């Protein structure tokens, strides 16, 4: 057996069927890989949908979060390579082959990251796809990355276990994969990007949902950075300009409000807004070339994104750094964030 594919699932009755259908129809022979679904305490029909699929190893656990679910799946995996995807992803037929190929070809490669695509037509979803593609452009330039997302991730099982898997203090599907990637990269492991290993995904369909997701990710990202402080400066996945946008967005808003007390603050907000537009220009031009409608809206969406991220970072700094929550408190944190 070459690979164990692990899919954590929580209330995934609407999506996991397509995911499992796609996983069963890979270019690699079915006898060469196993599929493991870890039901993380679902209270819908997820178990029934999984049961309708043949040759699936199904594991049930009480709700403990995706990090614990993935670790549970790995503990029962039999292959030397473990591969993760999410229950709302639909892998392409050659996805598994593209994911495990680099690990089999090069013993120095420890982990592999694939890529997202979407078939959605909503403005928000199209923007999210362009955002990912912008980050993929950064990853293509690197021979060694430090950011392997669980929607399309492969690891050598022995190395994954050496690092004790995902940190289960991350109770939601947010940044636990980043934290493990940071640890592995800091220890000198080589991880690579495989852009042809594609999974189709349902991105946020509305801007409100997108901004909520950005707040949530920024919040939990602060915990990952607290555990790996050297990654505060840079990583292979995050454009540096995004950090400048994150600082400028609240500055624009604050100066606009202060404009009630003096014209100089209004001028300051205009200057900050122009600076924001200037540093956002490369992404905007790239987006315009690929999707003129979304590209024309991207400056406003980028501003909203930066504001949501700043709010998440600010809340994360308070909780994870200033208040310095105890581990027991962190373990009790749930989907309220």
pLDDT tens per residue, range 172-193: 888 899 999 999 999 999 999 9
Confidence grade of residue 337 (pLDDT, cut at 50, 70, 90): low
Residues 6+ apart with CB under 8 A from 270: none
HSE, side-chain direction, 13 A CA sphere, residue 294: 18
Residue 170 has pLDDT above 60, yes or no: yes
Residues 6-34, mean pLDDT to the nearest whole number: 97
Q: What is the pLDDT of residue 118?
A: 97
Q: What is the pLDDT of residue 331?
A: 47
pLDDT tens per residue, range 207-261: 999 999 999 999 998 888 888 888 888 787 788 899 999 999 999 989 988 888 8
Query: Using CA atoms, how far apart are residues 291 and 289, in angstroms rounded to an integer?
Result: 6
Q: What is the pLDDT of residue 334?
A: 47
Q: What is the pLDDT of residue 10?
A: 96
pLDDT tens per residue, range 41-92: 999 999 999 999 999 999 999 999 999 999 999 999 999 999 999 999 999 9
Q: What is the pLDDT of residue 261?
A: 84
Domain boundary assignment for the chain: 3-204
Structure tokens at 246: 């994150």
Q: What is the pLDDT of residue 81?
A: 98
Q: What is the pLDDT of residue 17?
A: 97
Please, what is the average pLDDT of the chain? 92
Q: What is the pLDDT of residue 7?
A: 98
Sheet holding 89-91, edge to edge: 57-61, 33-40, 3-9, 81-85, 152-156, 109-117, 190-201, 89-91
For the ranges 100-104, 184-188, 291-295, 320-324, which has the lowest average pLDDT? 320-324
Strands 109-117, 57-61: pairing is unpaired
Residue 297 has pLDDT above 90, yes or no: yes
Residue 323 has pLDDT above 70, yes or no: no
Q: What is the pLDDT of residue 175?
A: 85
Q: What is the pLDDT of residue 319?
A: 86
Residue 333 has pLDDT above 70, yes or no: no
Query: Using CA atoms, how far apart are residues 7 and 262, in angstroms rounded to an integer?
Result: 56
pLDDT tens per residue, range 304-314: 999 999 999 99
Residue 336 has pLDDT above 60, yes or no: no
CB-based burial of residue 326 (10 Å sphere; 0-12 exposed, 13-18 middle, 19+ buried)?
exposed
Q: What is the pLDDT of residue 291?
A: 98
Cα-atom radius of gyration of the chain, to the nearest Å? 21
Residues 252-276, mean pLDDT to the nearest whole number: 90
Q: Name the superfamily (CATH) of residues 3-204.
A: Spore Coat Polysaccharide Biosynthesis Protein SpsA; Chain A (3.90.550.10)
Residues 6-10, mean pLDDT to the nearest whole number: 97
């Amino acid at each position: 057996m070459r690979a164990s594919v692990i899919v954590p699932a929580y209330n995934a009755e609407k999506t996991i069927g397509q995911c499992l259908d796609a996983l069963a129809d890979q270019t690699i022979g079915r006898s060469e890989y196993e599929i493991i679904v870890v039901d993380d305490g679902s209270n819908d029909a997820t178990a029934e949908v999984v049961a309708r699929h043949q040759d699936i190893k199904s594991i049930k656990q009480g709700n403990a979060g995706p990090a614990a679910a993935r670790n549970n799946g790995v503990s029962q995996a039999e292959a030397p390579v473990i591969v993760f995807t999410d229950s709302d992803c639909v892998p392409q037929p050659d996805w598994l082959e593209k994911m495990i190929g680099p690990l089999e070809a090069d013993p120095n490669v420890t982990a592999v990251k694939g890529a997202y695509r979407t078939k959605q037509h909503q403005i928000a979803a199209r923007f999210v796809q362009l955002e990912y593609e912008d980050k993929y452009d950064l990853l293509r330039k690197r021979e060694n990355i430090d950011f392997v997302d669980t929607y399309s991730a492969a690891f050598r099982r022995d190395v994954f276990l050496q690092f004790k898997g995902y940190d289960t203090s991350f109770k939601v599907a947010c940044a636990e994969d980043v934290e493990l990637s940071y640890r592995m990269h800091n220890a000198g492991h080589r991880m690579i990007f495989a852009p042809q290993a594609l999974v189709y995904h349902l991105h946020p369909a509305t801007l409100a949902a997108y901004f909520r997701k950005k707040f949530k990710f920024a919040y939990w990202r602060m915990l990952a950075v607290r555990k790996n402080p050297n990654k505060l400066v840079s990583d292979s996945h995050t454009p540096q300009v995004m950090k400048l946008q994150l600082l400028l967005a609240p500055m624009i808003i604050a100066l606009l409000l202060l404009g009630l007390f003096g014209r100089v603050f209004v001028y300051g907000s205009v200057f900050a807004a122009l600076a924001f537009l200037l540093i956002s220009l490369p992404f905007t031009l790239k987006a315009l070339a690929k999707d003129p409608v979304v590209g024309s809206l991207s400056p406003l969406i980028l501003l909203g994104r930066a504001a949501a991220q700043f709010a998440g970072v600010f809340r994360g700094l308070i909780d994870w750094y200033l208040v310095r929550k105890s581990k027991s408190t962190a373990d009790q944190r749930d989907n309220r964030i």
